[in-house]
């Protein structure tokens, strides 16, 4: 699949998604001339093939929305390169579509992540938090590096179930996820509003 962009001087809002088996990096090459003007970037992808090129600074990016299909032990920390390249990022929305049964072990501790501070990030929304390595490590990273985060909202319901009759099924698994989220919340700054749904 090829992507061609010839002239887009007012391009500000981009969604990159489609075939979950494609690496998202292929889309960034044709967009490279326009990355600095993007204000909203939405990515839909699989966690197992999430690889990005080295980014120029995305100076105007205010909102990054990422929808990820993945396994309980996949790694979202690859997103840190994109976050580091976005000095004006105000809002991060993360939708996790992790289909694993409660027979898998939930993460009990997170790895120590080094990285740059995230000076402008004010709001984080995570839907589909399960308390697995994939989301615990990423939330820990945000708590350690998000200096100005005012509010973090974590919804432990799978995104596909929100508003559906089966939203309250597998209550035990959801309660375990809530417990993990609340444990993470106890590590947040006193100035950060930490909401777990």
Taking a C-beta distance cutoff of 8 angstroms, is the pair 38, 10 a contact? no
**Across 4-12, average pLDDT:** 70
User: Which residues have a Cβ under 8 Å from the Cβ of 31 and sit 6 or more positions away?
Assistant: 3, 5, 14, 38
- The rounded distance, in Å, linking the Cα atoms of 122 and 29 is 29
In 77-98, which positions are buried (b, 16+ CB within 10 angstroms) versus exposed (e)? bebbebbbbbeebebbbbbbbb
pLDDT digits over 49-89, tens only? 666 667 778 899 999 999 988 777 777 888 888 898 899 99
pLDDT tens digits, 93-150: 999 987 654 334 444 334 444 578 888 999 999 999 988 888 898 999 999 999 899 9
pTM of the model: 0.80
Structure tokens at 127: 């839907």
In this prediction, residue 112 carries a pLDDT of: 40
Task: Tell me the pLDDT tens digit for each residue of 156-194.
Answer: 887 766 665 555 556 777 888 889 999 998 888 888 999
C-beta separation of 177 from 156 below 8 A? yes
Whole-angstrom distance, CA of residue 27 vs CA of residue 137: 27
Residue 7 has pLDDT above 90, yes or no: no
3-state secondary structure 171-196: HHHHHHHHHHHHHHHCCCCCCCEEEE
């Amino acid at each position: 699949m090829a992507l061609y962009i010839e002239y887009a001087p007012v391009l500000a809002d981009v969604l990159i998604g489609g075939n979950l088996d494609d690496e998202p990096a292929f889309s960034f090459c044709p967009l490279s001339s326009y990355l600095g003007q993007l204000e909203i970037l939405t990515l839909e992808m699989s966690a197992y093939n999430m690889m990005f090129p080295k980014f120029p600074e995305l100076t105007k990016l205010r909102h990054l929305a990422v929808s990820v299909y993945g396994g309980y032990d996949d790694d979202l920390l690859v997103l840190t390169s994109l976050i580091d390249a976005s000095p004006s990022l105000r809002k991060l929305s993360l939708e996790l579509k992790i289909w694993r049964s409660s027979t898998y072990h939930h993460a009990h501790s997170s790895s120590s992540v080094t990285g740059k501070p995230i000076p402008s990030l004010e709001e984080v929304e995570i839907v589909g938090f399960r308390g697995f390595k994939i989301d615990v490590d990423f939330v820990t990273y945000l708590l350690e590096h998000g200096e100005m985060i005012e509010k973090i909202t974590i919804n432990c319901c799978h995104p596909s179930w929100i508003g559906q009759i089966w939203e309250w099924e597998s209550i035990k698994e959801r309660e375990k996820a809530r417990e993990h989220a609340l444990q993470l919340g106890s590590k947040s700054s006193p100035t950060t509003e930490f909401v777990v749904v």
